[in-house]
């Protein structure tokens, strides 16, 4: 239940509430838990969540990191990490959820993705009486913050705070180590056809900056701009980092090898980073960031 | 009907326009090169970067755009003669739908590059055979029957495309949507498309007079001693082959095949001997210009070329139509 209590009916029940509260005093009180979500709404549950539905692969990872993995009863397609999440019932893709399946799994907390899930469906879920906690991590701190808040709602504070702190200090260490590193100009390739990159606002762009990289397309206004080969040749980055379709797909990098006038090609600074480590705002971003920073250090060593 | 002499000046003008568009396209891009740099590369000098930009990126892409535009415009003109319907375009008989299903299936399976091209061609070929076979049927066929078969098959492909888009993972969607909108960054080498365009235009030259007769209807054609049936199947197969090549080069680019033939008819009259080569030149020119703008308007970001073809073509066509009353 969210705290939208100031309805006419709510006032009507206040008197009854007092009567019930005096009754409840004689029994162990159910502990109400509250947390602020990424839409700045306070989400309160009458008791810690015991059945959680995570409506994006990233949300699933965050809930597991918060120590509440055993309480996850519903996920969406492509929720593949941690491996246990694959065995949890799926309620469809994050863009089109099967609400009947979701309702029949009786979640007492739904983790929604503000810009990824259809807002109409999230509103319907809330109208059906299932509280929705919206997440939308845009900064490194949003990742650790989300883990802590989810841990509060699931009453797994100890484990959640440990995971959040590990991520927070890990990222801070990287920031400190690379604060004065020599800048390396970088092109990060999200996709090959169409050729797409990211700007400085994107979480991956922030990882590049953290490692002392300078994103050659950082100034573009769109979060995930679509560009052409010519723009990359013109920018002449010192290193090219590519995500790729699978975990082992290096084909995207061989595409660049024919342009021998690129500095990145001449120095062999073509790197592959498994996309699952970097493309979701989850604790695994720390591992991805370490890998990013190592690659850029490698590029510095080849000057 | 104009004689052979009066065919040459309009074609010469269109060829010059096409050449100008190609030059324009080669000098413009997200990397700024001076005309002097371009000239140096053409003379075989210039910096390695300028050489790569012009010889490996801009020229192949401009030629691919020219070939694709030409193929689509010629295919559209042929379909309009065949079906005697001004709304016919190269895709009216479901060919782009078949190609799209092929290409999207390859993308959905996580395959890339040449496989997408091959799969699109297979889809286009399958669609052609399907429409051909069904329209042939048991009894006699008419252009109306062929058109209806094609339109319904196209609707079927449309449903399959929507289904594939609905079930594909989010990260694959941009690639699929760009392919459906038509995008020359998928073009690899322009030579096959250019070659086919040249061969078909030459092969159609001797058929020009028969096509003119056929455009007036099969009865007149029969009365004037033209055997309509084999000619109609020849046109159908030629138009299908041209469209299949265009679609596999650059995805399904709309509008060029519908409107370029009409534009030229408004200006040059309806003589197929002139219209078909003129379509090859004007369609190519339009697509080269559109693709240059798509590459440079919000550079380094890229737009799908189909958007620009319509934005350029619609006002031009409406102006010609308005003036011709």
β-pair partners for A213? A184
* pLDDT band at A249; cut points 50, 70, 90: low
Contact B243, B96 (CB under 8 A): yes
Q: Pick from A222, A230, A246: which is nearest to B57 by CB?
A: A230
Using CA atoms, how far apart are residues A15 and B5, in angstroms rounded to an integer?
100
Residues of chain A positioned with their CB less than 8 A from the CB of B296: none
Q: What CATH architecture applies to the domain A179-301?
A: 3-Layer(aba) Sandwich (3.40)
Q: How many domains, in total, are found in chain B?
A: 1
Domain A28-169 classification at class level: alpha beta
Is B175's Cβ below 8 Å from some Cβ in A?
yes
Q: Pick from B53, B166, B174: which is nearest to A230 by CB?
A: B53
Is A265's Cβ below 8 Å from some Cβ in B?
no
Per-residue pLDDT, B76: 92
In the predicted structure, residue A7 carries a pLDDT above the cut 70: no
Written as six digits, the tokens of A140 are 């490194």
Written as six digits, the tokens of B180 are 């459906």
Question: Which residue range forms the structural domain that includes residue B202?
Answer: 4-323
**Percentage with pLDDT > 90 across chain B:** 24
Domain with residue B164: its CATH number is 1.10.3470.10
Is B30's Cβ below 8 Å from some Cβ in A?
yes
Enumerate residues 60 to 79 of chain A having a beta carbon within 8 A of any beta carbon in chain B. Answer: 77-78
Using CA atoms, how far apart are residues B279 and B265, in angstroms rounded to an integer?
10
**pLDDT tens figures, A216-243:** 999 998 888 989 888 999 999 999 999 8
* pLDDT band at A212; cut points 50, 70, 90: very high
**pLDDT tens figures, A98-135:** 888 999 999 999 999 998 898 889 999 999 999 999 99
Written as six digits, the tokens of A24 are 């409840």
In the predicted structure, residue A9 carries a pLDDT above the cut 50: no
**What does residue A97 show for φ and ψ, rounded to 5 degrees?**
-90, 150
Using CA atoms, how far apart are residues A213 and A206, in angstroms rounded to an integer?
9
Enumerate residues 191 to 210 of chain B having a beta carbon within 8 A of any beta carbon in chain A. Answer: none
Residues of chain B positioned with their CB less than 8 A from the CB of A196: 174
**pLDDT tens figures, B209-234:** 888 888 877 777 777 777 777 888 88
What mean pLDDT value characterizes chain B? 85
In the predicted structure, residue A3 carries a pLDDT above the cut 50: no
A196–B174 C-beta distance less than 8 A: yes
Nearest CA in chain A to B182: A194
Using CA atoms, how far apart are residues A76 and A73, in angstroms rounded to an integer?
11
What mean pLDDT value characterizes chain A? 87
Cβ pairs bridging A and B (under 8 Å): 80
Q: How many CB atoms within 10 Å of residue A3?
A: 12
Looking at the complex, report in whole angstroms how far the Cα of residue A242 sits from the nearest Cα belonging to chain B.
15
B174–A194 C-beta distance less than 8 A: yes
Mention every residue, 6+ apart, whose C-beta is less than 8 A from residue A294.
none
In the predicted structure, residue A300 carries a pLDDT above the cut 90: yes
DSSP state of A76: -
Looking at the complex, report in whole angstroms how far the Cα of residue A217 sits from the nearest Cα belonging to chain B.
9
Q: Which range, of A7-11, A145-149, B57-61, averages the lowest pLDDT?
A: A7-11
Per-residue pLDDT, A268: 92
Nearest CA in chain B to A227: B301
Enumerate residues 185 to 224 of chain A having a beta carbon within 8 A of any beta carbon in chain B. Answer: 191-196, 217, 220, 222
**pLDDT tens figures, A39-54:** 999 999 999 999 999 9
Q: Pick from B170, B183, B301: which is nearest to A95 by CB?
A: B170
Task: Please choose, from the candidates A241, A222, A253, A186, the residue with its C-alpha nearest in 3D space to the C-alpha of residue B301.
Answer: A222
* pLDDT band at A162; cut points 50, 70, 90: very high
Mean pLDDT within B121-135: 87
User: How far is CA A287 from each of CA A280, A295, A299, rounded to the nearest angstrom?
Assistant: 12, 13, 19
- Token pair 């062999």 is at which residue? A268
State the pTM of this model: 0.79
Contact B180, B254 (CB under 8 A): no
Is A242's Cβ below 8 Å from some Cβ in B?
no
Q: Which range, of A121-130, B23-32, B120-129, B140-149, averages the lowest pLDDT?
A: B140-149
In the predicted structure, residue A144 carries a pLDDT above the cut 50: yes
Most confident of A31-40, A270-279, B169-178, B223-232: A31-40
Contact A75, A85 (CB under 8 A): yes
Where are chain A's structural domains? 28-169, 179-301
Looking at the complex, report in whole angstroms how far the Cα of residue A23 sits from the nearest Cα belonging to chain B.
52
Mean pLDDT within A280-298: 93
Mention every residue, 6+ apart, whose C-beta is less than 8 A from residue B259.
B313, B314, B317
In the predicted structure, residue B4 carries a pLDDT above the cut 90: no
Per-residue pLDDT, B28: 86
Written as six digits, the tokens of B72 are 């689509």
Is B273's Cβ below 8 Å from some Cβ in A?
no
Per-residue pLDDT, B33: 79
Task: Please choose, from the candidates A212, A207, A228, the residue with its C-alpha nearest in 3D space to the C-alpha of residue B184.
Answer: A228
Using CA atoms, how far apart are residues A94 and A55, in angstroms rounded to an integer?
6
**pLDDT tens figures, B250-305:** 888 888 898 899 889 888 888 888 899 999 999 999 999 999 998 888 877 888 88
Helices (H), chain B: 4-27, 35-42, 48-51, 59-83, 95-108, 114-136, 143-167, 173-181, 191-204, 208-214, 218-223, 228-250, 256-268, 272-296, 305-323
CA quadruple A20, A22, A27, A32: dihedral positive or negative?
positive
Most confident of A113-117, A185-189, B147-151: A185-189
Per-residue pLDDT, A49: 95
């Amino acid at each position: 239940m969210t705290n939208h209590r100031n309805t006419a009916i709510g006032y009507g029940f206040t008197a009854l509430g007092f009567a019930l509260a005096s009754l409840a005093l004689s029994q162990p009180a159910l502990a109400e838990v509250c947390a602020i979500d990424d839409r700045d709404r306070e989400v309160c549950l009458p008791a810690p969540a015991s059945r959680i539905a995570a409506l994006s692969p990233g949300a699933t990872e965050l809930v597991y990191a918060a120590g509440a993995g055993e309480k996850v009863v519903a996920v969406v397609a492509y929720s593949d990490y941690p491996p246990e999440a694959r065995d949890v019932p799926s309620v469809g893709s994050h863009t089109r959820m099967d609400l009947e399946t979701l309702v029949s799994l009786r979640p007492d907390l739904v983790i929604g993705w503000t810009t990824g899930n259809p807002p109409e469906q999230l509103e319907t879920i809330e109208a059906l009486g299932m509280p929705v906690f919206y997440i939308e991590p845009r900064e490194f701190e949003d990742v650790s913050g989300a883990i802590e808040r989810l841990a509060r709602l699931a009453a797994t504070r100890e484990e959640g705070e440990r995971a959040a702190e590990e991520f927070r200090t890990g990222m801070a260490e990287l920031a400190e180590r690379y604060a004065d590193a020599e800048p390396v100009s970088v092109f990060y390739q999200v996709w090959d056809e169409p050729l797409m990159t990211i700007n400085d606002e994107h979480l991956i762009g922030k990882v590049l900056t953290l490692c002392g990289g300078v994103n050659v397309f950082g100034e573009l206004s769109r979060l995930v701009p679509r560009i052409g080969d010519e723009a990359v040749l013109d920018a002449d980055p010192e290193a090219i980092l590519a995500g790729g379709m699978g975990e082992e797909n290096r084909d995207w990098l061989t595409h660049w090898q024919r342009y021998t006038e690129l500095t990145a090609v001449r120095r062999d600074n073509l790197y592959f980073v498994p996309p699952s480590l970097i493309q979701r705002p989850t604790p695994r971003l720390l591992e991805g960031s370490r890998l990013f920073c190592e690659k850029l250090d490698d590029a510095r060593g080849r000057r | 009907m104009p004689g052979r002499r009066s065919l040459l000046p309009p074609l010469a003008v269109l060829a010059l326009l096409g050449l100008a568009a190609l030059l324009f396209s080669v000098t413009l891009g997200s990397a700024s090169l001076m005309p002097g740099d371009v000239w140096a590369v053409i003379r075989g000098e210039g910096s390695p970067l300028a050489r790569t930009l012009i010889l490996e990126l801009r020229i192949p892409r401009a030629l691919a755009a020219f070939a694709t535009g030409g193929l689509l415009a010629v295919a559209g003109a042929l379909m309009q003669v065949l079906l005697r319907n001004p709304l016919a375009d190269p895709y009216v008989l479901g060919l782009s739908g078949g190609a799209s299903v092929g290409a999207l299936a390859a993308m959905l399976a996580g395959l890339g590059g040449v496989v997408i091209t091959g799969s699109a061609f297979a889809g286009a070929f399958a669609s052609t055979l399907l429409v051909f076979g069904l329209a042939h049927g048991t009894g006699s066929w008419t252009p109306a029957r062929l058109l209806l078969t094609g339109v319904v098959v196209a609707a079927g492909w449309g449903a399959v495309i929507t289904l594939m888009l609905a079930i594909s993972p989010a990260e694959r969607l941009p690639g699929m949507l760009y392919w459906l909108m038509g995008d020359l960054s998928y073009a690899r080498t322009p030579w096959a498309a250019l070659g086919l365009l040249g061969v078909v235009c030459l092969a159609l030259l001797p058929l020009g007079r028969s096509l003119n007769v056929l455009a007036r209807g099969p009865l007149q054609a029969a009365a004037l001693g033209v055997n309509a049936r084999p000619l109609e199947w020849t046109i159908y197969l030629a138009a299908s082959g041209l469209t299949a090549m265009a679609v596999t080069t650059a995805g399904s680019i709309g509008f060029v095949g519908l409107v370029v033939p009409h534009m030229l008819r408004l200006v040059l009259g309806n003589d197929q001997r002139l219209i078909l080569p003129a379509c090859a030149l004007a369609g190519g020119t339009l697509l080269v210009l559109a693709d240059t703008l798509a590459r440079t308007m919000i550079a380094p970001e890229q737009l799908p070329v189909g958007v620009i073809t319509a934005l350029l073509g619609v006002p031009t066509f409406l102006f010609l139509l308005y003036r011709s009353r």
